[in-house]
Amino acid sequence: MKLHSFYEASKDLEAYKPGETPEELATRLGIPRSEVLKLDANENLFLPQSMMQEILREASEETDPRLYPSGESGRLREALGGHLGVSPRQIVLGAGGDQLIELLLHALLKAGDEILAVTPTFSVYGMTARTMGVGYRTVDVEEGFSLNVEETLSSVSPRTLILILCSPNNPMGNQFARDKVLSLAERFQGLVVVDEAYVEYAGYSLAEEAVRSDNMLILRTFSKAFGLAGLRIGYAVSNSDLAEVLNDRYQMPYPVSSISLKAGLLMLERIGEVRGSVEVAKRERGWLTDELNAMEGVTAYSSDTNFVLFSLTRDHEEVYGELLERRIIVRKIGLVPGDNHGCLRVTLAPREKLERFLVALKEALE
């Protein structure tokens, strides 16, 4: 069979497995899907579902699905440029951050090249590199989750063309010091990709620095603070030359659907409500962190995102399973630098949902 070698090679690739879905858990427990509390994927649960459905209705009413996207992409780039204080020519739209990661690697790398990623990090970087057959190397953050500039640069090889860092970081939750990130960009000879998927919840963005730099690109998304995870809209911000080459020479035609583009535009028109939801999430983040740290056997880490990472003295796999039995899904992370026990990650949510989570966690730890 001519596909035999393809199937054999695929055995060495890691699948993206986020865990048991709400539908699977509900079926296993014999309960309605509505009884499952999903706190594992860092969606924005503070934006009312009614508002999001209204956005979808308006987007669908103003879109003719028979036609390919036309001016919608340009209008969204214009609106994003105004929102970020950059030119629309410095923005690349994509079908979620994942598609933009694939686009970047495909455009910039060839066999024999490699990526260096500051880890822990978003798993899709390593997965994409391996599917493309390019090298993927890592350098860990220090204990306390800080960025070591000298160690990172010393890990660079002549083959390293892209340096990846998530800031704010997933899964740790912290934003790296601004001066350290900029120092890396100034001293690294290749492209520095800063993944800012959670930046609305943090203290600063490097988007304006990226458009003035010849070797920095920022990745952003509508999946987190803007509440459109299901519509898959990502975007990159870089200098005009790089953005135009990616847009004109490498991006696929019509990568984002008309409805998604229109919904993104409508969300930018309601930026006040988005920012309001972020402020509520940040208040709940402080409250949840304090509540977790008050529990025996739990250590919650400081976060600049819409999730909280916490370490357990109990086996984290067992606690994760106990939470599932109590109809709550969080994310299983495991060990991170400086942790000897194992961690779980929980998405921020309105207070009543977090209270339900805390009750279940206390029961799981007894």
Half-sphere exposure of 293 (CA within 13 A, CB side): 11
Residue 177 and residue 31 in one domain: no
CATH of the domain at 40: 3.90.1150.10
pTM of the model: 0.95
With respect to residue 319, please indicate whether it lies within any of the assigned structural domains.
yes
CATH of the domain at 162: 3.40.640.10
Cβ 162 vs Cβ 190: under 8 Å: yes
Strands (E), the chain: 37-38, 91-94, 114-119, 135-140, 160-166, 191-195, 216-221, 234-237, 298-300, 307-312, 328-329, 331-334, 343-347
Total tally of structural domains belonging to the chain: 2
pLDDT tens, position by position, 312-330:
999 999 999 999 999 999 9
Cβ 162 vs Cβ 186: under 8 Å: no
Residue at a domain's end among 214, 243, 269:
269
With respect to residue 324, please indicate whether it lies within any of the assigned structural domains.
yes
**Does position 266 have pLDDT exceeding 70, yes or no?**
yes
pLDDT band at 353 (very low <50, low <70, confident <90, very high): very high
Nearest to 163 by CA among 139, 143, 179: 139
Identify the pLDDT of residue 75: 97
Residue 302 and residue 328 in one domain: yes
Cβ 163 vs Cβ 319: under 8 Å: no
Identify the pLDDT of residue 146: 95
Identify the pLDDT of residue 1: 62
Q: Which two tokens stand for residue 171?
A: 């899964």
**Does position 15 have pLDDT exceeding 70, yes or no?**
yes
With respect to residue 58, please indicate whether it lies within any of the assigned structural domains.
no
With respect to residue 3, please indicate whether it lies within any of the assigned structural domains.
no
Residue 139 and residue 254 in one domain: yes
Residue 293 and residue 191 in one domain: no
Cβ 363 vs Cβ 314: under 8 Å: no
With respect to residue 279, please indicate whether it lies within any of the assigned structural domains.
yes
pLDDT tens, position by position, 184-214:
999 999 999 999 999 999 999 999 999 999 9
Tell me which residue range forms the domain holding 342.
9-48+272-365
Residue 43 and residue 74 in one domain: no
In whole angstroms, what is the distance from residue 162 CA to residue 230 CA? 29
Residue 283 and residue 173 in one domain: no
Pairing of strands 328-329, 37-38: parallel
Pairing of strands 234-237, 216-221: antiparallel
